[in-house]
Amino acid sequence: MESGSSGGSGQVLLVGSSGGHLAQLLALEPWYRDRHRAWVTFDTPDARSLLDGEDVVWAFHPTTRNLKNLVRNAWLAVRVLRRRRVDAVVTTGAGVALPFVIAARLRGIPAVYIEVYDRIDSATLSARLCRPFLSAMLVQWEEQRRMYPEATVVGNLL
């Protein structure tokens, strides 16, 4: 299930569903390049290819309306955050985000949510669910601040 382990310093845990959510996390590469990091995503061909050589924890999918996998990912989040020295969780959603954000909050680990770039007129379900447990909310468009007035606009990742 897990590969690699935390070294001497803590790591950033980058959490996101595969596809567009993962692509937006990968766009943060200039920020995480020199940081110790690990990824949590789904075991899909694109994720395997894009994260080749990275420290990856494979989450359970599908997550949409799948209570069994929500519970499995909750236990995975607890286990990962207990076994690793994680300094922060950064996520773009979707379904895999909630268990990791809640587990981070319970352990006193900062969690940052970056709302996806293609939702300008309405909040995503995962952002709405994660929001009460976050240390920071980031958005990619000024217009998204209508849904998240407390958010910081970081600009487009893609």
Name the β-bridge partners of 2.
57
Encode pLDDT of 1-54 as tens digits. Answer: 333 333 447 999 999 999 999 999 999 999 999 999 999 999 999 999 999 999
pLDDT digits (tens, 9 = 90+) for 113-157: 999 999 999 999 999 999 999 999 999 999 999 999 999 999 999
Is 4 among the domain residues? Answer: no
Q: DSSP characters for 56-69? A: EEEEPS--TT-HHH
Identify the band that residue 60 occupies on the pLDDT scale cut at 50, 70 and 90: very high
Q: Which of 53, 46, 40 is nearest to 91 (CA)?
A: 40
Closest CA to 143 of 134, 131, 153: 153
Phi and psi for 121 in degrees, rounded to 5? Answer: -100, -15
Tokens describing residue 51: 């994260």
Classify residue 70: in a domain, yes or no: yes
For residue 47, being part of any structural domain is answered with yes
Residue 78 within a domain: yes
β-sheet bridge partners, residue 56: 39
Domain holding 133: CATH number?
Answer: 3.40.50.2000
pLDDT tens for 77-105 read 999 999 999 999 999 999 899 999 999 99
144 in a structural domain:
yes
Find out whether 80 and 13 touch, Cβ atoms under 8 Å. Answer: yes
Containing domain of residue 40, as a range? 11-153
Give domain status of residue 6, yes or no: no
Tell me the two tokens of residue 17: 């569903």
Q: If phi over 0 gives left and psi between -120 and 50 gives alpha, with beta otherwise, what is residue 58?
A: beta
Q: Does residue 49 form part of some domain? A: yes
Tokens representing residue 63 in the block: 């997550």
Q: Are 59 and 40 in contact (CB under 8 A)?
A: yes
**Is 61 a member of any domain?**
yes
Q: Which residue has the tokens 């990091």?
A: 37
Return the HEC string of 84-124.
Answer: CCEEEEEEEECCCHHHHHHHHHHCCCCEEEECCCCCCCCCC
Kindly report the pTM of this predicted structure: 0.91
Structural domain total, the chain: 1
